[in-house]
Amino acid sequence: MENKRSAEPAGGMTPLIPANHKTGTGTGNRPSLWRRMTAQKHLQTMALLGVIWMIIFNYIPMYGIIIAFKDYNIVKSIAEAPWVGLTHFREFMEDENLVNVIKNTLGISLFKLVIGFPLPIIFALFLNEIRSVRFKKSIQTISYLPHFLSWVVLGGILATWLSDVGIINNILLALGLIDQPISYLAEPNYFRGIVITSDIWKELGWSAIIYLAAISGVSPEMYEAATIDGAGRFQKMWYVTLPAIKATISILFILAVSGVLNSNFDQILVLRNALNDSASNVIDYYVYYTGILSGRFSYSTAVGLLKSVIALILLLIANSVSKKINDTSLF
């Protein structure tokens, strides 16, 4: 029963579940692929644009990955560069920044996952319970507005707020919570907290949208049935809404796990400085520094590639675990 219930809203969320399409193409007694394609040629044209876009911007540039195994010189072509095998990977393994960089990246990402992942779900659940439509809409709009601020702008604002003469210090001093102003961005200890909090604040409302969409797909009949069974508000949330959006949550969780080695580069770049370096040097920044700033493109590609490979492995693990546990998966 549980499975059947969850399958229903999942069907309503087709864009998220490519698996559904797949099963469709597999069945034999349908017209040929070409006939079906021509029948939907208008739709397919639109899809084709996306496919072309992806090939050009995602697949063709992948050719550049091979410089990770070469000694690439920026002024010569990739083909001219000599092969060096795994030299760059080995160098990264011996690099003294390795431990620090991985520790920082995982530290920030895991906290973002543990705290930042469930919060939008909870937020969406509560928002869904608000009766007044107008109030609900305005809360939703206000909560996702920060998403549209770029990190460059927000970084400037945060730097001012968090400086020793900034608003945060003024408030805390006035409340008597601290007796000396603290320059928050200059302390490595605070960096993780700042990054995670600001990220959640910025993205909470935006991430909740997808859950709200999933919730709106839940059949009202189920709520009615639950009401007849005597379920209260929280019970309905727990026994109806949550199971109904379980598939969506699983999918987003799988994607989030694969992103664990990604830290939000823009955010880190604008918030880092010489003093918090020991906490702010993450893989992405390290790649940027060695590659774009120091011009060691082969080496930084190798580091980036390594990161992507690990991310892929994580994605596969999360996917198969999810498949085993609750029968939802990306592929």
Instruction: Name the nearest CA neighbour of 246 among 316, 328, 144, 125.
Output: 328
Q: Which of 47, 52, 167, 225 binds other proteins (CB under 8 A)?
A: 52
Tell me the CA distances in angstroms from 262 to 207, 209, 265, one per residue in order: 17, 22, 8
Which tokens is 94 given? 């011996």
**Number of residues in contact with other proteins, rule: CB under 8 A?**
37
DSSP string, 162-185: HSTTSHHHHHHHHHTS-SS---GG
46 is a site residue for other proteins (CB under 8 A) = yes
Least distance from other proteins to the Cβ atom of residue 98, Å: 13
56 is a site residue for other proteins (CB under 8 A) = yes
Q: Which of 25, 29, 32, 45 binds other proteins (CB under 8 A)?
A: 45
Q: Mask 255-274, x = binds other proteins (CB under 8 A)?
A: ------------------xx
Residue closer to other proteins by CB (options 183, 326) is: 183
Q: Which of 35, 42, 131, 324 binds other proteins (CB under 8 A)?
A: 42
Stretch that binds other proteins, among 9-17, 39-47, 208-216, 322-330 (CB under 8 A): 39-47
Angle between helices 188-216 and 246-258 (to 10 degrees): 150
Is residue 72 within 8 Å of residue 298, measured between CB atoms? Answer: yes
Residue closer to other proteins by CB (options 1, 75) is: 75
> What residues numbered 137-176 form the site for other proteins, per CB under 8 A?
159, 163-165
> What residues numbered 123-142 form the site for other proteins, per CB under 8 A?
none
Beta bridge partner(s), residue 83: 70
Least distance from other proteins to the Cβ atom of residue 18, Å: 23
219 is a site residue for other proteins (CB under 8 A) = no
Classify the phi-psi angles of 74: left when phi > 0, otherwise alpha if psi is within -120 to 50, otherwise beta. alpha
Residue closer to other proteins by CB (options 25, 77) is: 77
Q: Give the DSSP H or E segment for 255.
A: helix 246-258
Backbone angles phi, psi at 283, to 5 degrees: -55, -45
C-alpha span between 174 and 166 (Å, rounded)? 12
Residues within the interface to other proteins (CB under 8 A): 42, 45-46, 48-49, 52-53, 56, 60, 71, 73-79, 96, 159, 163-165, 183, 185-186, 273-275, 277-278, 289, 292-297
